[in-house]
Structure 1
Amino acid sequence: MGSSKESKRRSLFCCHYARLGDVAEAARCAGYPPETAAADGAALLRYGCYRRMVEQYRAVLHDDPAACVRAGLERLAFGRTNDVMQLVLSEEQPGGAALDKLDLFAVSSIKRDRNGGMEVHFF
């Protein structure tokens, strides 16, 4: 992988981390493999230059509290629910590692009944 492409991916990670606040999710959004996303993101944050980049993005993205709220509401309103549907329709309950890879941002609660049915509540 070229250094320019990797540099762009690292910058993208910093932007997503500033916006989302979740290391693993930000790394996945930036294109890092889901299996190593949390470790890759944490490794980047050990470097001062990337922590400073995150702070610069945060200063731009979060200077207006209303914009932060609006961004969260947009994510709830227009976010994808594919992972939720995958969870509901799967015959077997996924394990911890598989659950970590799912985007369940819009889900407020999940309940499984005695008969194996599932109830999902969204925000």
Structure 2
Amino acid sequence: MDFIKKLTGRQEEFCRGFVCTGDPAFSAKRAGYEKNSAAAAEKLMTNPEVLAEISRLTKEREKVFASLASLGYQRLAFGNISDAVSLLYLENPSAEQLEKMDLFMISEIKKPKDGMIEIKFFDRLKALEKLENTSSSGDGVKDLFDAIGQGAKAVSDIEQS
């Protein structure tokens, strides 16, 4: 945290730009180092305070992305498919209707020549597996995953009978 106070506004902007793009020269130019941005970038990349800030921002970004991925898997595992089912019954949905629908769970939509719509969903069990693998405590998710797996096996056994 002490390093942040030592950075100038342009250095902070360079750090943010570099973490987003990975391109030092572009980040330097974007931060206001117009003249010879490549040389400015090289100098900035050897500054210990700048490197510490880049490291801090990178760690924060990784945490955010891990949280976003976890939220996405939660939506896939536990999300509602009612909008996707509604889509099946709409003749010609308008752009406005489609924008209001939550179609996150859909992996693929096809409309073959026969005019029917085919909708494929992301695999809920795979999403649960990912949640289990990324969860630090894992036990609650594992219990739920096991219960869903047992339920799916029971349904399969009934269908085969």
* TM-score past 0.5 threshold: no
TM-score (norm 1): 0.45
Higher helix proportion, which one?
2
TM-score (norm 2): 0.35
For the pair shown, the structure with the greater C-alpha radius of gyration is: 2
